[in-house]
Structure 1
Amino acid sequence: MAETDLIKLYSGKILALAAEIPHTGRLDAPDGTATKRSPLCGSNVTVDVRVADGRIADFAQDVRACALGQASASVLGAVAIGRTRDEIERARDALEAMLTADGPAPEAPFEGFEVLIPAREFRNRHKSILLALEATAEAMKQAEQAACA
């Protein structure tokens, strides 16, 4: 990897997002919790959600990831509250397609993931970038299953 590639990858905007992650920490008595880990780099994200009427009513994330994973969690944290599991899963799938199949950035309100387009060529970073959305989808699934039990 050339030095210019690293500079492009770790742009000022990505580093600024990584430094300002919304909704960090953990929730007391969440409806659902999930931790996702990237075995390749060791990044992990734990997400807690409270769900009301099928939407995220409260959200917290404990992010221990590289700058790209942190930037991704930052984009998600800014728009997570009020989202349905279907919206989260569609954003996750669109982000994965953006990274692996040159697809477009996810649609609003998830368009902020566009900043991660330079990571397409760094396949070893894709899993870290997807962790926050994967953990959120799983936490919401757990919350829905608990509500039906």
Structure 2
Amino acid sequence: MSSPTPHEDQLPALSPTSTNASLPALSPTSTNTSSADHEQQRNTPSKRILSCILCQQRKKKCDKKTPCSNCTRLGAVCTPSKPATPRKRRRPNQELLERLSRCEELLRHCTCARLPTPESVLDQFQQLPVHSEEKKSLGQEMSSKETN
């Protein structure tokens, strides 16, 4: 088969019975981390080593040593690549939020302006063609409700 990679020879050999014995026992307190610790870990930039430029261009596995084995074998200069600059996080644009707020306020204002007032309902009611006796009795009921 293939020879072990440089990283495999650095790992300790584990037998099936020794794998569980070598692991530390987890206590309930060790599994719970505070949110501050978690936040700090997330904000700390990781210092992972990237493949060299030649290995990236040739799409070859780099052993990430300086110089790497591929560059040494080819007699090329091994140039470590730099990590990409972190992307800028998108945050809601304050101006856009203000415009949205103004539009929502205008919409509420227009909606409230279109709601019929009791006076306009009464005016519409009085314009309906109804027998004169029914109109008088209904008009009196409506006016008595307004005074209450």
State the TM bucket, normalised to the shorter chain: under 0.3
Query: Using CA pairs below 8 Å that are at least 6 residues apart, which structure has the higher relative contact order?
Result: 1
Q: Provide the TM-score with structure 1 as the length reference.
A: 0.16
